[in-house]
Structure 1
Amino acid sequence: MMSGKSHPSTEAKGEPYRAYAYLGAESELSSLSSIELAPEFDRVPPYEDSLTADERERAQRLLNDSLVISLHDHPVRFPLRMGDTPEHYRAGRQYTAYAGLLASGMNVVFDNMMDGTACVTGRAPWRWNDVIADLGHRLADLAHQDRVVPVRTLRDIDRIYQSRGIGIVFGLEGAMPIENELDRIDILFGLGIRQLGIAYSDSNALGSGLNEVTDGGLTAFGRRAVRRMNQVGMAIDVSHSSDRTALDACHCSETPVFLTHAGARAIWDTPRMKPDSVLLAVAETGGVVGMSAAPHTTISMSHPRHSIDSVMDHLLYCIDLLGVEHVAFGPDTLYGDHVQMHKIFSSLLGTGEQKSVLTYEPVPYVDGLENPTENFGNITNWLVKRGFCDDDIRAILGGNIYRALGSVWPHLM
């Protein structure tokens, strides 16, 4: 892995490319021109911290020099009015937030494409044709610029790190689109997908999701799918799987398993968080647990108003339980009103995993971890302020993920 990264400003090579600019002003997308997209900067007030000048200099140095990987985000611009989102996504295109990404300090972001909300050909999400169309549109758009590029190998990550660029690892939060066709895993891999979730809330042919009353675990087909993912080199995610399904996947997998965006149930007792047994099982595979910051998920009893401090309570717990070598961040953020997005799509994505009898204060956004542009600057600042050493900060920011991917993508060096 190369060293000496220094992130360019968004003005370093002129104005950043804007999504689908290659089509020109007069295109088939013009019908969507009346739908205003959320801004990439300054949607909410900046997070206020209390770093000294020396701490801030150290934090900036670490952010600049470290390999920074988000294990789960949605780096696309949603409509400013979230109610316009269903109409917007039925057009079959998501708008990569190029300027926001280039100012984020990240090198690599795992992008799960929001296919659960696309619903291009009907009201049911996660359809095969919609997923393929989504991926094709995104890749076509990326191909018309060279500052944000697809990632398929560890060598890609090394090149991006050295060249001070940013890469996108495409993935899916759930394996519903493969239905019961094992070869579709190979097809997705061939098209550039490098990470696949077992289930998203509801059960599918592979196993149970978080919404199920009865946890059936990984199916026989799911076990074959895990083996195929191991064989082809697909990273496995169990974030939205049921507890038993996650445990079964960890026990069946011969490569590290990822919990890309979640938290600890011992800190906030809801189905969306994972119990110690699952956290430990992921770590035992050599995998990594990414801390999520999706609104009203990784709350804590100490910080019931969801903020970066709530999320860090989960981080500290997981470090104590698993060791610093098995933690990272998958903030699960986007450009737009994430709170309203949850409300708009609750009927499509399912609400069972969000239900809680615990009392918390609703927030309009998660202060300090509101969008992909601000996340890792604030994360680094927080870790510096709390006295983490340089090596541990580098591991948390991306080193742990890179190490685990080396066992998932070994033939892709």
Structure 2
Amino acid sequence: MNKKNYRGYTSYQYLEAGVDFKSFELVKETTLFPDYIIPVSATEEARAQKLMQDNIVISLHEHTFKAPVDLNTFLEFRRWGRDFTGYEGLARSGLDCVFDNLMNGTAMITSRGGWKWDDILYDLGMRLSDIAHQDMVIVGLTTDDIYKAKHNGQVAFVPSLEGAAMIENELDRLDILYGFGVRCMGIAYSEGNALGMGLKEKSGGLTAFGKQAVRRMNKLGIVIDVSHSNEETSLDTIEYSDKPIFITHAGARALWDTARLKSDEVIKACAAKGGVVAIEAAPHTTLTVNHPRHNIESFMEHFEYCVNLVGIDHVSFGPDTLFGDHVAIHKALASALSLSASKGNLPYEPVEYVQGLENPGDCFPNIVRWLVKHGYSDTDIAKVIGGNTMRVLEEVWWNPKKQGHGPNQD
């Protein structure tokens, strides 16, 4: 299924573990829990594989790192500043492009609070150094890079950030991040910053500086994400942006009333400007009253709700998974990730993992199987697994073929 040219590389193998950096036992890239494949017929499986082979497949939100086995060492592990990419897992994922959000606020190399400028650059630069030492994953800076990755059996890695706290009041830092490869960026994570308010804040929207930042990202060609912004900031950003935006990992608040999910108003406003909402699968997020136990059925209920609300052209997937025990990591980092702010008061059944959507290697094959099994057309499946995202990127990302090379161009 969408076979990749993986030749066995493992992160930082060009260095000597235990000499150049401290060695930690990391999880394997196979599933930690019982493997689950959406049950389909042989004909449906063949169709699902062909759809992934013939069409560009993009996840709008993942963290493709491998976590340490002993999560008591997680903060020490992070302070070494080395994310170990799950290359083997990506090779089986069927993805042609992944919007990878690094470790964002948990890149706590110099600070326990996270989101510091030095830490973000350290995290980003270290990850790109590792990617530069192999050839299956390439850095995705343009839509051409995504097409090339598809053609060459590679995966385009799009560096992304979930919030912009690290730019402080320095607008030009957006240019620097762009220079480091960042092509997708959130306004705020869960706590407010100089640009706008996160989901912790019940009121307050985009600031005057935030409006400047939105315009700068539009000019640079950084697609804007409001997944962790509060209601007012989300709506302000959509209104003020000249370009379509992404909600890279969320769901419908109408199905499960938490601040972490988006209201109908925000989803419709995003779609009205040409944007895309991608459905989230991190444990205990996209639950529903019909499915209070988180699994692929509750996840896809959010997908179908959004499709019915705004149409198939404005919905995609950003599962937000990782290689490791996601639930245990949430518990270990509950404060840093502001998880309490995203929880609602509805009763739900806790799970150890989200069946069918455990890690980046498993999500999209199961998503496509589900879509095939439920009667979606080839055209519509192609849109939601990558086509809708590419449409937005073609409009937002800087493209010399379309936009010229500057004011002195003849």
1:13–1:225 Cα change, 3 Å:
closer
Q: Which residue of 2 aligns with 1:22?
A: 14
Match runs of 1:11-410 below 5 Å:
14=7, 16-25=8-17, 27-29=19-21, 31=22, 33=23, 35-213=24-202, 215-410=203-398
1:410: how far off?
4.3
Q: Distance in 1 between matches of 2:322 and 2:194?
A: 29
Task: Give the 3-state SS of the residue equivalent to 2:297 in structure 1.
Answer: helix
Count of residues paired in the alignment? 401
Q: Distance in 1 between matches of 2:142 and 2:343?
A: 38
Q: Distance in 2 between matches of 1:178 and 1:25?
A: 33
1:93–1:238 Cα change, 3 Å:
same
Structure 2 spans left out of the alignment, 5+ residues? 402-410
1:124: how far off?
1.0
Structure 1 residues 215-235: Cα deviation after superposition (integer angstroms, max 9, x where no partner): 110000000100000011011
1:7: how far off?
2.7
Q: What is the one-letter code of the residue matched to 1:21?
A: Q
Structure 1 residues 311-333: Cα deviation after superposition (integer angstroms, max 9, x where no partner): 00000000000100000000000
Q: Distance in 1 between matches of 2:357 and 2:343?
A: 22
1:36: how far off?
1.2
Alpha-carbon contact 2:66-2:324 (below 8 Å) kept: yes
Alpha-carbon contact 1:325-1:396 (below 8 Å) kept: yes
Q: Which residue of 2 aligns with 1:3?
A: none
Q: What is the one-letter code of the residue matched to 1:296?
A: H
Q: What is the one-letter code of the residue matched to 2:172?
A: D
Q: What is the one-letter code of the residue matched to 2:3?
A: P
1:50: how far off?
2.4
Note the aligned Cα RMSD (angstroms). Answer: 1.2
**Which of 8, 24, 40 is the equivalent residue of 2:3?**
8
Q: What is the one-letter code of the residue matched to 1:115?
A: N
Task: Give the 3-state SS of the residue equivalent to 1:347 in structure 2.
Answer: coil
Alpha-carbon contact 1:153-1:412 (below 8 Å) kept: no
Q: Distance in 2 between matches of 1:25 and 1:198?
A: 37
1:183: how far off?
0.5
Alpha-carbon contact 2:61-2:101 (below 8 Å) kept: yes
Alpha-carbon contact 1:155-1:412 (below 8 Å) kept: no
Q: Distance in 1 between matches of 2:6 and 2:267?
A: 43
Q: What is the one-letter code of the residue matched to 1:327?
A: V
Q: Distance in 2 between matches of 1:13 and 1:265?
A: 39
Q: Distance in 1 between matches of 2:90 and 2:29?
A: 9
Q: What is the one-letter code of the residue matched to 1:108?
A: C
Structure 1 residues 349-382: Cα deviation after superposition (integer angstroms, max 9, x where no partner): 2234332110110000000111000000000000
Q: Distance in 1 between matches of 2:356 and 2:375?
A: 18
* TM-score (structure 1 length as normaliser): 0.95
1:48: how far off?
3.9
Q: Distance in 1 between matches of 2:216 and 2:201?
A: 25
* TM-score (structure 2 length as normaliser): 0.96
Structure 1 residues 63-93: Cα deviation after superposition (integer angstroms, max 9, x where no partner): 2221000000001101112222111001111
Moved more, 381-390 or 154-163: 154-163
Q: Percent identity?
A: 51
Q: What is the one-letter code of the residue matched to 2:387?
A: G
Q: Distance in 2 between matches of 1:411 and 1:352?
A: 40
Task: Give the 3-state SS of the residue equivalent to 2:138 in structure 1.
Answer: strand
1:251: how far off?
0.2
1:292–1:102 Cα change, 3 Å:
same
Q: What is the one-letter code of the residue matched to 1:8?
A: K
Task: Give the 3-state SS of the residue equivalent to 1:259 in structure 2.
Answer: strand
Q: Distance in 1 between matches of 2:165 and 2:275?
A: 23
Q: Distance in 1 between matches of 2:80 and 2:332?
A: 17
Q: Distance in 2 between matches of 1:265 and 1:13?
A: 39
Alpha-carbon contact 1:7-1:165 (below 8 Å) kept: no
Q: Distance in 2 between matches of 1:345 and 1:103?
A: 28
Structure 1 residues 356-413: Cα deviation after superposition (integer angstroms, max 9, x where no partner): 1101100000001110000000000000000000000010110000001111014255
Moved more, 110-119 or 308-317: 110-119
Q: What is the one-letter code of the residue matched to 1:197?
A: G
Q: Distance in 2 between matches of 1:297 and 1:173?
A: 17
Task: Give the 3-state SS of the residue equivalent to 1:103 in structure 2.
Answer: helix
Q: What is the one-letter code of the residue matched to 1:338?
A: H
Task: Give the 3-state SS of the residue equivalent to 1:328 in structure 2.
Answer: strand
Structure 1 spans left out of the alignment, 5+ residues? 1-5
Q: What is the one-letter code of the residue matched to 1:7?
A: N
